[in-house]
Amino acid sequence: MKRYFAAAILFALLTSQAGARPYQEMFANRSDFSDAEKPLLEKLDFQQGAIKLPEAKATLNVPADFYYLSPADAKTVLVDIWGNPPAAAEGTMGMIFPAKYAPTDIEAWGSTVEYNADGYVSDADAATTNYDELLQNIKDAIRENNAEREKQGFPKITLVGWASTPHYDQSAHAMHWARDLIFGDDTQPQHTLNYSVRVFGRQGVFQFNFVAGLDQLKEIEGVIPTVTKLVEFDKGMAYGDYVEGDKIAAYGMAGMIAAGAGAKIAAKVGLLALALAFFKKAGVFVFILLAGALRFAKGLFKRNKTPTA
């Protein structure tokens, strides 16, 4: 009997690490939520601690200064709160947010979490890639595609440069970079941010894609060391567990950065794919994913100034 009792306590302790919390507890020191915000926040379960992601053979260890929302809750944020079409939330494994912001806050930013099981990504070219040359290649590809983009009804894109130069953290086996983009008429430029983090495992890549404004770059840069260490792969599934004969991804670091959305697009269409971009205009963030011949793949992610009911 004692053995079963001890096991039950242990199970409770383990499962409580990622216990869901209502917004009243998550933001216990706040009383400024409007009547429009409260019903939306009540739909969400704010999670911290160990988040098991069995489909990726990994755990997301979410510290106290962040929180995690499940795929269903991420959809609530992206669709019900930020006003996007349902397709915008497809394929995510949830989202992470800094704990100081509620998703309904005007200044809130967060990152979608995705995983691509495309195999082991070699880091052999991480130290040898000329990132200035890569940047120019991406600029040229985007410029060449702009005429077709405008025919499709999308604003033209200007890649200004790196907002943060690609950096490979060998100890964490993580790559991160950010791009400074302008959408539409660049006579009155609206600079926007495209910040990406990739964490590599033995069988695939975790993708963190930030929905934020360029003015939040420094804030995001400050949390990147935390983000790159959120992922804990299951035993035998870490990057260093690779053995000869494992599946190898069809792309390297440079191809992944060029596409920006991760492996599958990079492998198929290389530099001709524009993958992730963030559009900030009149207080609205728009998140666009295009692949192949500018196929509209995932809809728009936007941030409204006020939550939608």
- Return the higher-pLDDT residue of 162 and 273: 162
pLDDT at 301: 44
- What percent of the chain is predicted at pLDDT more than 70? 76
Q: What is the pLDDT of residues 236-291, one digit of tens each?
A: 999 999 999 999 998 888 888 886 533 332 322 222 222 232 222 222 233 333 22
What is the per-residue pLDDT for 239?
97
Of 15-19, 123-127, 160-164, 184-188, the range with the lowest mean pLDDT is: 15-19
Cβ 113 vs Cβ 60: under 8 Å: yes
**Percent of the chain at pLDDT above 90?**
53
Adjacency order of strands within the sheet including 46-47: 20-21, 46-47, 66-69, 95-98, 110-116, 205-211, 191-200, 174-183, 157-169
pLDDT value of position 49: 96
pLDDT given at position 274 = 29
pLDDT of 285 reads 30
pLDDT of amino acid 261: 34
Express each pLDDT in 187-213 by its tens digit.
777 788 889 999 999 999 999 988 888
Model confidence over 27-67: pLDDT tens digits?
999 999 999 999 999 999 999 999 999 999 999 999 999 99
Residue spans per domain, the chain? 2-301
Q: Of 274, 126, 292, 91, which is closest to residue 200 (Cα–Cα)? A: 126
Per the model's pLDDT, the better-predicted residue between 187 and 5 turns out to be 187
Q: How confident is the model at residue 16 (pLDDT cuts 50, 70, 90)?
A: very low
229 pLDDT more than 70: yes
What's this model's pTM, rounded to 2 decimal places?
Answer: 0.78
- The residue with greater pLDDT, 15 or 273, is 15
> Confidence class of residue 123 from pLDDT cuts 50, 70 and 90?
very high
The whole-number pLDDT of residue 158 equals 87
Bin 94: left if φ > 0, else alpha if -120 < ψ < 50, else beta: left
Q: What pLDDT sits at residue 234? A: 98
pLDDT in tens, 92-121: 999 999 999 999 999 999 999 999 999 999
- Average model confidence (pLDDT) for the chain? 79
Lowest mean pLDDT among 2-6, 35-39, 217-221: 2-6
For 67-76, 78-87, 164-173, which range has the lowest pLDDT when averaged over its residues? 78-87
